[in-house]
Homo-oligomer: A and B are copies of this chain.
């Protein structure tokens, strides 16, 4: 067998030990004389960064990278923020070099060599710094955490915004779809990974290990995630799938601990009922599109009887949007009858009263159709973020499900509304193009028919 030799684990002991011994006195001084005397002073993070950049492939590269990352995690919140800001201010492009390169371009505007040289020289130095930090064992994970911290301070901080752009640029390259590995997650998966599924599930919280087992072990349940070779135990994104005999219209039935599983071979439909990103530090690097499509292919190969691939999705922006329309008396997106009916929504527990619920059904579904098909946000986009994701992937809005999620959260964010998006591999490309180029929304006739006459 070909055995993988474990790389030295990140962390203090190795760092203070063996790796330290390869450093010269200069290197040791930078790292704060740790290990030699007790009254260590915190190392200067920027000085370490400069040291790392000043050397080429040398022996101490890994040690200094590891030292900087460890020192960053050891530092106080303030010192960490200062370092992040310094990344923006002090580790940008070298101004003098940029000036010279600019002059070369100005002398000969058509000179492609000069332009490309300018591009290279204008690369912020922090990009090379990040690449070198990535040499340290555990470096990738540490950089993802570093960006996660940066994102918390982003608002109104243009220097950080520049740093964030470089993180995003490098992460898009490092976390390229080509480097991700799709894995089936089930009840035989190591507990160390499963506890992360519990922790990261963002759509329908997992209550405990029994709830988790109920989503993984039955024959009609699947879970898949993307993993990256450098973040071994960390799913980057995962999707939970139910195999059913028809398109479900509510989530409680799917999550019921007492339901009777069906044989996977009998299922005609695969339902993506939860998809969760796990790493805030990877914001903007999109995996979901690829994940859903690869899982569709996996399931088609494993279970040829499955012909229908849909989501059962929340509508997180609906209730807030509806409240805005009700408040705005000029809004034409809801009509007077609807306004009248929606007063019932303000009565707690309306959904348990059959008569009240029934009288809300039509106006609410009409408003939902308007929300998806007519409403736009300030940037002219479809309002609902989940809709933007699935429609942008080329899916079709298939069905509106009245009272699909009557949990407290479901009622609060969408008055119980859930929807199904349909992934039809033969149409997703055309849907995508129409959406991207003409903002045309793929929706079933059923959904379109729900539009009120005033908005049809």
A contact set with B: CB distance below 8 Å: 1-5, 7-8, 18, 21-24, 26-27, 55-60, 62, 92-93, 95, 98-99, 102, 105-106, 109-110, 112-113, 115-116, 118-120, 122-124, 131, 134-137, 139-140, 158, 162, 165, 170, 172-174, 176-179, 181-195, 208-209, 213, 224, 229-230, 233, 286, 289-290, 293-294, 297-298, 392-394, 425-426, 428-430, 432-433, 436
Contact = CB atoms under 8 A, between A and B. Distances in A.
Which 6 residue pairs spanning A and B have beta carbons closest together? A119-B122, A229-B229, A188-B190, A5-B182, A134-B178, A59-B429
A438 to B, nearest CB: 14
Contacts of A18: 297, 425
Q: How many copies does the complex hold?
A: 4
Contacts of A122: 115-116, 118-119, 122
B59 A183 contact: no
Given A116-B122, A134-B176, A135-B177, 19 more contacts: A1-B189, A2-B193, A3-B184, A3-B186, A22-B426, A24-B433, A57-B392, A58-B432, A59-B432, A92-B112, A92-B116, A93-B115, A95-B110, A116-B124, A119-B123, A120-B165, A135-B176, A174-B179, A191-B191
Contacts of A173: 131, 170, 173-174
Contact of A58 (B8, B189, B436): B436
A181 B181 CA distance: 15
Contacts of A174: 173-174, 176, 179
Given A58-B394, A297-B8, A432-B58, A3 B115 contact: no
